[in-house]
Structure 1
């Protein structure tokens, strides 16, 4: 069977759904293809569900721009659509005085990113806010929050479909052609194998972004996709009454933001993630690193009761650089970067991708609809 449409988005995670919604609302006939049987089953549902303020990212970077703009768009969306969220705030802590210069650097970077609501905290300030936390100093970010990511995903899907778009589940993109003249085709598997042709094609497959581009590269593509690396993280649930009312973050570590304490919408605490570089997609929970996990938490939460820690889930972050490299920016590659009209491919969309999703979608859809 052959189908022709205006736009195809591959991947029904938060980025793909947000882009699909934005395209459909601009009047483009849009199909979102998803190989799994449900939306948002990988990176979008295996994270900390945090609305980031934009503290960590280099000024002028895509992560900084999309996070700060995306935060406002996301809060407005959640409020207007009745989706559960809490602007609970976050404290970044320096465990000892030797770490304070790194805390100062985060504060300066945040200010340059336009985050103007940070408050510097002394040891006594921290104890007054969170009596179970031990740290030399901290930064309070009152605009950091949490959300029900599942409800957000469902809402994006609903608005996409209300605007005439289609989400095709259990429909993998098996191969395709990236046309140099802006006419692309995608061969789809599933219960009814189909070839879809379109003028706009978006690769929003997250962990599979490089692999997907290679599968599509049957036309006259002029560039190869970025490298792909995987950073796996474990999350532990903490049973019983939550010892914190806000999110607690240590200083960032290589490959991530450190093993932090987050809250879900039910008020339960989770700790994570750690960072383990892996070669493939495997969500098995390995408790072999639990001792290091505990040691990291006790640097700021000495009262941790280890018997209350139970394995929750794992997540994997897509990265365009591997271990030992400085953190990389989002890679959102369109015609100016690769020379292929109507094709946009997104790589390394890790944290703060959830926060940035609506802002990323806004720009991708504007670029495509304006062609």
Structure 2
């Protein structure tokens, strides 16, 4: 008999990493992963661009910074052990105007504080040596930034869980959570699973599942759709590595960039538009229930009042391929509308506070027997194994380790 049964809601990369960490580090503990879809890594993990972030962007001392840097080393080693692609193709963060140099320099200092390896400032001429087709007046070069296959990693995590005696139960949408003596009963319709403790890693549904656990109503999840273009196959040699803009510090999004994939394709994007459904991967996917939830939340209107100009610009790119590529052409001037086709899209589970603030850092809350991941956007995939370590420590060893940014 197992000493204890731990439930994990959500079979994305963070939930599976947490389940794997428990299965490997807590012998005698039974782990059950509960997932509403019929396969793992369907949502954010399955729509990830595949970038392994080096830790350039995140505030020093934040959970994102600490767990991203730790997560890179864990992920690199795991990919090598399992034969999952892991390619250090490098990244340029490019300033295309002189007035961006101040922000670029601030980003450099932040990255140095985060111990990003081998990062350096480079000139216009050095940009051209690395990326002959790129624009820009200066850049940061991160040669250790990599790309990988996150759905493959998630599937490998799931195999690790089952190999350790755990279970990944698919087709189990959680409909209720009930306290029972010394545990929690997790229900999906008439199905019941009793666990001693529960970890919630529900991604796009994280606030809804936390509500079932009598968790606080905030932060709320706001779904932002990120849409991509794809370079035509004959144009992929225009880009060698990752090419990113200097980000606007007011937003937790990184802007339209060029991303080579491990399959040889090159994505351009994403934009960031408010989706009309939590799982709104297309413009035509609309959920009246999700829209009513957005409209009823004061933070939505406060966010809209603060950022409506940016929202209009992002929607313009969503409907016009020419407008979308106008921004992209600043970074690779030789690429135009004729060189791309529409690609896929992902939906980011972005947490929003009541005051309209887009939550930047990870948020992981513990309340008794339940630990809830309330905000885990990018770089959560990069940091997934480090997030798993943090969760296991918080659940089993020290409740004070759970931080509330």
8 A contact 1:186–1:216 mirrored in 2: no
- Provide the residue aligned with 1:265 in structure 2: 262
Return the match for 2:393 from 362, 366, 369: 366
- Provide the residue aligned with 1:51 in structure 2: 52
8 A contact 2:242–2:260 mirrored in 1: yes
What does residue range 145-294 of structure 1 map to in structure 2 within 5 Å? Answer: 145-178=146-179, 183-189=183-189, 193-217=190-214, 223-241=216-234, 242=236, 243-253=238-248, 254-281=251-278, 282-284=280-282, 287-294=318-325
Note the residue ranges of structure 2 that are not aligned, 5 or more in a row: 285-317, 399-405
8 A contact 1:228–1:321 mirrored in 2: yes
What is the aligned-residue RMSD (CA, Å)? 2.1
- Provide the residue aligned with 2:357 in structure 1: 325
- Provide the residue aligned with 1:337 in structure 2: none
Hey, what's the Cα distance between the residues in 1 that align with 2:345 and 2:54?
A: 24
Could you say if the C-alpha distance between residues 261 and 127 of structure 1 is closer, same or farther in structure 2, counting changes exceeding 3 Å?
same
Q: CA deviation at 1:216?
A: 3.0
Q: After TM superposition, what 4+ stretches of structure 1 lie above 3 angstroms from structure 2?
A: 322-327
Hey, what's the Cα distance between the residues in 1 that align with 2:41 and 2:380?
A: 13
- Provide the residue aligned with 1:351 in structure 2: 378
Hey, what's the Cα distance between the residues in 2 that align with 1:126 and 1:182?
A: 60
Hey, what's the Cα distance between the residues in 2 that align with 1:50 and 1:158?
A: 23
- Between 18-27 and 158-167, report the one with greater CA deviation: 18-27
Hey, what's the Cα distance between the residues in 2 that align with 1:103 and 1:365?
A: 36
The CA deviation string for residues 92-118 of structure 1, in whole angstroms up to 9 with x for no partner, is: 000111111111011000011122410
Hey, what's the Cα distance between the residues in 2 that align with 1:297 and 1:13?
A: 30
8 A contact 1:182–1:341 mirrored in 2: no
Hey, what's the Cα distance between the residues in 2 that align with 1:118 and 1:78?
A: 23
Could you say if the C-alpha distance between residues 145 and 285 of structure 1 is closer, same or farther in structure 2, counting changes exceeding 3 Å?
farther
8 A contact 2:94–2:136 mirrored in 1: yes
8 A contact 2:224–2:274 mirrored in 1: yes
What does residue range 305-320 of structure 1 map to in structure 2 within 5 Å? Answer: 305-320=336-351
**Matched position secondary structure for 1:23:** helix
- Provide the residue aligned with 1:73 in structure 2: 74
Hey, what's the Cα distance between the residues in 1 that align with 2:347 and 2:254?
A: 14
- Provide the residue aligned with 1:17 in structure 2: 16
8 A contact 1:6–1:199 mirrored in 2: yes
**Matched position secondary structure for 1:302:** coil
Could you say if the C-alpha distance between residues 245 and 197 of structure 1 is closer, same or farther in structure 2, counting changes exceeding 3 Å?
same
Hey, what's the Cα distance between the residues in 2 that align with 1:94 and 1:252?
A: 10
Hey, what's the Cα distance between the residues in 1 that align with 2:246 and 2:178?
A: 44
Q: How many residues align?
A: 356
- Provide the residue aligned with 1:303 in structure 2: 334
**Matched position secondary structure for 1:368:** helix
The CA deviation string for residues 238-264 of structure 1, in whole angstroms up to 9 with x for no partner, is: 112421111000111434101010011
Hey, what's the Cα distance between the residues in 2 that align with 1:178 and 1:105?
A: 48
Note the residue ranges of structure 1 that are not aligned, 5 or more in a row: 335-339
Hey, what's the Cα distance between the residues in 2 that align with 1:95 and 1:284?
A: 31
